[in-house]
């Protein structure tokens, strides 16, 4: 694409000072869709005093995340929201420091490690299900958050955090609630002002840091888990201090469980509201899953289970938009973006684009059969991001979701009590309230 266009891309008009912030805050997902529909594959809007360019074409997304990724970083917007929570953790660190940290953590996500994690995933899922009773109503979002944070702590830190579960749940909810407000309100009340929300947020951070410190203090340098690997890095050149190790533990607690919990929650809801698809999944599990604990090999053989999860993440991507910031002037789609321009690449829009998906709002796992995935443009579907910053835990998350969903859906069926999902987009695509399903034994 050439540079002959010049000027700025089209976009919605906004108000003085706040720009399009009020439109965005009232319904971010509809705002993304309207901008793409009305103004095309690259469009411009303002939140507060900042320029945002929305990119909603697969080729342009690939330019941002892959081909020209070195001209972008996570950006001030991301750091504004997350630095108070995770410091310089892997999710927002940059440059050579980020590369070293990712290299240090990669062994925890190696295929050999995933093989060791499989029975832990199944064990924790079965333990959760032991508290379920026939014909009762469960908040499956709360259940999946509990499950995945326990699995993350056990696999990545070799830690049992059940005694802290209620504290962690409350703390994570407070932190994500604040992140949502920061995203919606570029002009916000400073953390130092003692409002009830600020006090809750500070207490939540204090709780998370105390638990992370306790996890770190229970380790030494001799283990193979992430914490032990980070402790070994303290004595190396360019090594880490205690605060950075704590930040990485908090980062993995947050990033290592919430998106997986969201994907499972939304998939269970979709199964509850699409009984024909649930029956197809159940038939596969009856044939292939047996009655005992599932193995890694069985999980990899469950093709309908994989398609079901893939379709769930298409309709409800756990991260609804990837954000980047230009670190230098860069051309995208024939427009020159100035240094500091924020670029959003909304999965929510691309995953529901009728150019790529027939009846895009219909839950249809079988659309992923055959060669359909290969026929899609690379970034028409990217629930785990893309490029060098693609999620480090992607393969771990896929295995965890397969084994957990298969273990649950083999023995249980679902009926929606929550009639319609209400969504609350922040850094992740969270439900705005409980997701209640009636669970019954199959």
Among 386, 344, 408, 346, which Cα is nearest to 45's? Answer: 344
Q: What percent of the chain has pLDDT over 90?
A: 69
Residue 97 domain flag: yes
Looking at the predicted structure, is the pLDDT value of residue 205 above 70? yes
| pLDDT tens for each residue of 86-128 | 889 999 999 999 998 999 899 999 999 999 999 999 999 999 9
Q: What per-residue confidence (pLDDT) applies to 164?
A: 83
Q: What per-residue confidence (pLDDT) applies to 184?
A: 57
Segment 191-199 mean pLDDT: 74
Q: What percent of the chain has pLDDT over 70?
A: 95
Q: What is the distance between the alpha carbons of residues 101 and 417, in angstroms, rounded to a whole number?
A: 43
Task: Report the DSSP pairing between strands 42-47 and 335-337.
Answer: unpaired
pTM comes to 0.94
Residue 204 domain flag: yes
Cβ(257)–Cβ(249) below 8 Å: no
Segment 247-255 mean pLDDT: 89
Task: Tell me the pLDDT band of 2, cut-offs 50, 70 and 90.
Answer: very low
Residue 13 domain flag: no
Looking at the predicted structure, is the pLDDT value of residue 1 above 70? no
CATH number at residue 265: 1.10.630.10
Residue 308 domain flag: yes
Residue 199 domain flag: yes
Looking at the predicted structure, is the pLDDT value of residue 355 above 70? yes
| pLDDT tens for each residue of 221-250 | 888 889 998 888 887 766 688 899 999 999
Which pair of tokens denotes residue 36?
A: 């793409």
Looking at the predicted structure, is the pLDDT value of residue 308 above 50? yes
Among 415, 404, 347, 388, which Cα is nearest to 120's? Answer: 404
Task: Report the DSSP pairing between strands 436-441 and 423-425.
Answer: unpaired
Q: What per-residue confidence (pLDDT) applies to 189?
A: 64
Q: What is the distance between the alpha carbons of residues 267 and 306, in angstroms, rounded to a whole number?
A: 11
Residue 5 domain flag: no
Report the half-sphere exposure of 304 (CA within 13 A, side-chain side): 18
Taken in order 180, 182, 188, 193, the sign of the CA dihedral is positive
- Contacts of residue 371, defined as CB under 8 A and 6 or more positions apart, other chains included, come to none
Which pair of tokens denotes residue 369?
A: 């059969």
Task: Tell me the pLDDT band of 315, cut-offs 50, 70 and 90.
Answer: very high
Q: What is the distance between the alpha carbons of residues 221 and 234, in angstroms, rounded to a whole number?
A: 10
Q: How far apart are the first and last CA of the chain?
A: 55
| pLDDT tens for each residue of 150-176 | 999 999 999 988 888 788 888 888 887
Q: What per-residue confidence (pLDDT) applies to 248?
A: 92
Residue 241 domain flag: yes
Task: Tell me the pLDDT band of 429, cut-offs 50, 70 and 90.
Answer: very high
> Domain limits at 134?
21-441
Q: What per-residue confidence (pLDDT) applies to 3?
A: 44
Which pair of tokens denotes residue 285?
A: 């599990």
* Number of structural domains found in the chain: 1
Residue 3 domain flag: no
Computed over every residue of the chain, the mean pLDDT equals 91
| pLDDT tens for each residue of 321-335 | 999 999 999 999 999
């Amino acid at each position: 694409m050439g540079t002959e266009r010049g000027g700025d891309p089209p976009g919605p008009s906004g108000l003085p000072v706040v720009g399009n912030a009020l439109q965005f805050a009232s319904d971010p997902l509809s705002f993304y869709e309207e901008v793409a529909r009305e103004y095309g594959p690259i469009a411009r809007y303002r939140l507060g005093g900042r320029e945002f360019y929305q990119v909603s074409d697969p080729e342009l997304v690939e330019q941002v995340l892959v081909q020209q990724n070195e001209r972008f970083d996570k950006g001030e917007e991301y750091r504004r929201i997350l630095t108070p929570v995770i410091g310089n953790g892997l999710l927002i660190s940059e440059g050579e420091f980020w590369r070293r940290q990712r290299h240090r953590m990669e062994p925890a996500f190696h295929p050999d490690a995933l093989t060791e994690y499989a029975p832990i995933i199944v064990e924790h899922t079965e333990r959760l299900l032991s508290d379920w009773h026939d014909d009762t109503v469960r908040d499956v979002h709360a259940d999946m958050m509990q499950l995945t944070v326990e699995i993350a702590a056990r696999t990545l830190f070799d830690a049992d955090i059940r005694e802290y579960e209620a504290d962690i749940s409350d703390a994570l909810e407070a932190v994500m609630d604040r992140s949502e407000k920061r995203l919606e309100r570029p002009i916000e009340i400073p953390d130092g002002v003692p409002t009830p929300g600020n006090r809750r947020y500070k207490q939540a951070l204090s709780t998370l840091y105390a638990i992370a410190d306790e996890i770190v203090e229970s380790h030494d340098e001799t283990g193979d888990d992430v914490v032990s690997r980070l402790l070994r890095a303290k004595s190396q050149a360019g090594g880490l201090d205690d605060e950075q190790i704590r930040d990485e533990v908090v980062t993995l607690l947050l990033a290592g469980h919430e998106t997986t919990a969201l994907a499972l929650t939304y998939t269970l809801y979709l199964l509850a509201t699409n009984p024909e698809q649930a029956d197809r999944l159940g038939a596969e599990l009856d044939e292939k899953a047996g009655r005992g604990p599932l193995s890694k090999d069985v999980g990899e053989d469950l093709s309908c289970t994989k398609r079901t999860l893939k379709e769930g993440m298409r309709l409800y991507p756990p991260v609804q938009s990837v954000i980047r910031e230009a670190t230098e002037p860069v051309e995208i789609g024939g427009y020159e973006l100035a240094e500091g321009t924020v670029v959003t690449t909304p999965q929510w829009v691309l995953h529901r684009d009728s150019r790529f998906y027939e009846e895009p709002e219909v839950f249809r796992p079988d659309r992923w059969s055959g060669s359909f995935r290969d026929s899609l443009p690379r970034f028409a579907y990217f629930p785990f991001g893309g490029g060098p910053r693609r999620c480090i835990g992607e393969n771990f998350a896929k295995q965890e979701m397969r084994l957990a969903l298969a273990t649950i859906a083999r023995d249980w069926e679902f009926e929606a009590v929550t009639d319609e999902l209400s969504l609350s987009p922040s850094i992740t695509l969270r439900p705005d309230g409980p997701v209640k399903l009636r669970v019954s034994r199959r």
